[in-house]
Amino acid sequence: MLMRYEKVFATLIKYGFEDILSHPPFNKFFPQTNLLVPSRGGKKVSQFTRYERIRMVCEELGTTFIKFAQIASNRPDLLPDELLEELEKLQDRAPTVPLEAIRETLNLELPRPMDELLEYFDEVPLASASMAQVHRARLNGGREVVLKIQRPGIRELIAADLAILKHVVSIIEAYFPQYQVYQPRELVKMFEKSITEELSFRMEADNLLHFQEMFHDNNDVYIPKLYRELSTDNLLCMEYVEGYKITDLQHLKDFNITGPELALKGIGLYFEQIFDHGFFHADPHPGNIFVLPDGKIAFLDFGMVGSVIERDKILFAQLLLAMYDQDVEGLKKAILKFSTGLNKEKERELEYDIIYFLRQYTQVALEDIDGNEVMRGLNALFFDYKIKIPANLLLLLKALVIIEGVGLKLNPQYDIIANIGPFVKRLLAKRFNPQRLQQEIARSVEETTTLVQELPQDIKEIIQKVKEGKLHIEFEHKGLMPFADSLSQSINRLSFALLVVAIILGSSLIVVAKVPPLVYHIPLVGIIGYGISAVLTLGLLIKLKKSSKRP
């Protein structure tokens, strides 16, 4: 762990982040940071932007930090656009694992030694990423498979790096309040959840089986077979799919399939995942979508998937339709439903920014609109107004940008909005289906009944807390000071008036009782009381007249 800390801090210094390490508590360990300025590609590191240097740090620190940066790039609501662009450049590549280590892992994970289960094992990997390496093999009996093998020691490395990230975040929160706007704790929490899921190949296997179930009666889709008995947390064994990447138009000519046909079919299937099933492939780049000789579309690699609940599907559909119709008010409402609450002034500012955002596309043909540019514009709105978007919806927006790029490679005239339209309209129409409305009404009645049933118990608990002195109420007032001053003034005047009334009543009782000494048969104390009350009343009337003239 200590060596890893040294590596992290040395890399920060190397790429010019001495300003961070010069602050406490780092300066206790790194008092001298005036090191020689290193170079990168013949260019001094100091000549790169801060965001470029952040990307370089992640690249040099490897697996965990690359993955963290890639996941953070899905949060445009938390990070500025310039940083997102740099993080998106990170590629998940890694040197190949030595063959001896791969064989050792296979022998540990397989139920029997690999030589007893495999007729053939290709020593040259099909792919080598930071977390796993993929090899082609053949099982006894001739079934062609691919083996996705987790890199040895990757769990320990990620656990150590997660501990470092959490420690660094706690220091940032304590000493660097200017970075709180990026919500580092939330980013690390989101990353930990994501990386933990990705480390579990059993979860990826479950995702694959779920896709098989989703498309079991769809003749246009092929999901590779999973060999569950040969799969573990660290090893995934699935059927090898023979075909070509969806964008490999040169070879796909042999299948008599045109690019526009593929765009409609393949991307239509992707929209079906989102709007019909609410469960989608979150990394739909061309290497994960193959076309088979019989024209079926095969989806591969289910390590990164997303889910969309019905409410968010409808919200997302409304956002897309508002963009398509250039509907400023509709787009504002859709965006505000994601926000934690903007005041009226901020809402007006947002409306003007949306008008400017949409105006950029009013004179542009739909096929000429760059999906990445649209995403950058939306991301800027999310970040500027601190509009927090559910992580899965951000994943979906990013996946749609990737899928649009695939569509444009297949057909330069491809229009994602026009093609997504039928799915969106069908979803919105389903919302007003009589049967659905009946279900929603029944659910509302059930929730109301539950509320009424639970209300007496809730009231009882509140009263019990009051009796025990455990009820705490947080109250924040805004603009109440003038009202409080006015109320205090009124109470003072009322008290003054009551005092005058008391003196008059007391004096009257003395006069009626003929209490001596008497002056002209009238008690002297009563006369004095009437005099005092008259003076006080006159003073009160003067004050009231003056206050009534104030604005």
DSSP string, 58-120: HHHH-HHHHHHHHHHTT-TTTS-HHHHHHHTT-----PPPPHHHHHHHHHHHSSS-HHHHEEE
Q: Which residue has the higher pLDDT, 369 or 117?
A: 117
Q: What is the pLDDT of residue 241?
A: 92
Q: What is the pLDDT of residues 113-128, one digit of tens each?
A: 999 999 999 999 998 8
**Region of 374 on the Ramachandran plot (φ > 0 left; ψ -120 to 50 alpha; else beta):** alpha
Bridge partner residues of 522 (DSSP):
519
Most confident region among 25-34, 330-339, 434-443 by mean pLDDT:
330-339
Length of the chain: 551
Longest dimension (CA), the chain: 134
Q: Measure the CA–CA gap between 503 and 525, rounded to whole angstroms.
A: 11
Segments making up each domain of the chain, as ranges: 2-92+155-197, 245-432, 433-471, 481-549
Q: What is the pLDDT of residue 207?
A: 93
Q: What is the pLDDT of residues 447-489, one digit of tens each?
A: 666 666 676 777 777 787 777 776 666 655 555 555 556 666 6
The candidate with the shortest Cα–Cα distance to 48, out of 79, 13, 91, 16, is: 16
Query: Per-residue pLDDT for 520 more than 70?
Result: yes
The candidate with the shortest Cα–Cα distance to 166, out of 182, 181, 180, 186, is: 186
- Tell me the pTM: 0.66
Name the burial class of residue 368, with classes exposed (0-12), middle (13-18) and buried (19+) by CB atoms within 10 angstroms of its CB.
exposed
Q: Measure the CA–CA gap between 222 and 239, rounded to whole angstroms.
A: 11
Tokens encoding 43 = 């260019």
Per the prediction, the chain carries an average pLDDT of: 78
Query: Per-residue pLDDT for 37 more than 60?
Result: no
Please calculate the CA angle 460-461-464 and round it to the nearest 5 degrees: 85
Under 8 Å CB-to-CB from 194, ≥6 apart: which residues?
A: 67, 71
H-assigned helices in 362-412: 371-384, 391-410
Backbone φ, ψ for residue 222 (5° rounding): -130, 125
Under 8 Å CB-to-CB from 288, ≥6 apart: which residues?
A: 281, 299, 300, 301
Q: Measure the CA–CA gap between 218 and 215, rounded to whole angstroms.
A: 5
Can you tell me the mean pLDDT for 160-170? Answer: 84
**Beta carbons of 354 and 333 less than 8 angstroms apart:** no
Radius of gyration of the chain (CA): 36
Query: Per-residue pLDDT for 248 more than 80?
Result: yes
Q: What is the pLDDT of residues 58-75, one digit of tens each?
A: 888 888 888 888 777 767
Name the burial class of residue 197, with classes exposed (0-12), middle (13-18) and buried (19+) by CB atoms within 10 angstroms of its CB.
middle
Q: What is the pLDDT of residue 34?
A: 45
Q: Write the CA distances from 539 to 105, 219, 534, 543, 546, integer angstroms.
A: 97, 95, 9, 6, 11
Most confident region among 210-219, 368-377, 419-428, 542-551 by mean pLDDT:
210-219
- With a pLDDT cut of 70, the percent of the chain lying above it is 75
Can you tell me the mean pLDDT for 497-526? Answer: 76
Q: What is the pLDDT of residue 380?
A: 73
Query: Per-residue pLDDT for 214 more than 90?
Result: yes
**Beta carbons of 292 and 286 less than 8 angstroms apart:** no
Q: What is the pLDDT of residue 143?
A: 94
Q: What is the pLDDT of residue 361?
A: 62
pLDDT confidence band for 36 (50 / 70 / 90): very low
Q: What is the pLDDT of residue 168?
A: 79
